[in-house]
Structure 1
Amino acid sequence: MILVSYDISNDKVRTKFAKFLSKFGFRLQYSVFEIHNSEAVLSNIENEIQNVYMKAFTEEDSVIIFNLSATCKKTCYGYAKNEETDVFVIT
């Protein structure tokens, strides 16, 4: 499972990003989507963020991807990448 959390200040970019994510999963909260994990889906999402959305982000915008698998990988984009900390998942 992948959790994607975002904080995007521009309404138009935020709406477009939410519509993009809704193709792959469903909304848990206003700015959090749950997506069933596969390498192809994750790669598609990361490529779209890097090639399309990063151009529209401001310094305050951020997207955080939690890859909740055996590795529990966390990937940050935008402002969020400056606040790297360890994440603990308790199951």
Structure 2
Amino acid sequence: MNNVIIVTYDISNNKTRTHFSKFLEKYGVRVQFSVYEIQNSKRILDIVQNAIQAKFKKRFESGDSVYLFKANHNDTIRYGSAALIDKDLIIL
């Protein structure tokens, strides 16, 4: 399983952004607040790409952006091993 896509997004609408993020969580790992790494078979990666096209593209606003970068896991260079932990921010 050497197929990888990196999905990065900037979506202004909270509801759309949350729905999009939850969709990506089903297939990949959040590596930054708006960046997911999805490692899977080519078939699954195609499903993800097609779902973004069919279900989400029409919901994106003019200022939104979503990028999919295709890569091969063997060609990936990674420094550090920190994992992003989603925690609610509380300001007192």
- Answer whether TM exceeds 0.5 for this pair: yes
Larger radius of gyration: 2
Pairs aligned (count): 74
The list of structure 1 runs, each at least 4 consecutive aligned residues, that deviate by more than 3 angstroms after superposition, is none
Equivalents in 2 of 1:53, 1:25: separation in Å? Answer: 17
Normalised to the residue count of structure 2, the TM-score between the two structures is: 0.71
**Superposed displacement of residue 90, structure 1:** 7.3
Are 2:48 and 1:28 aligned?
no
Larger relative contact order (CA 8 Å, sep ≥ 6): 2
The letter for the 1-side match of 2:16 is: V
Query: What residue number does 2:16 align with?
Result: 13
Q: Quote the residue 2:62 is aligned against.
A: 59
Identity %: 47
1:24 alignment partner, SS class: coil
Given the alignment, which residue of 47, 52, 62 partners 1:49? 52
> TM-score, with normalisation over the residues of structure 1?
0.72
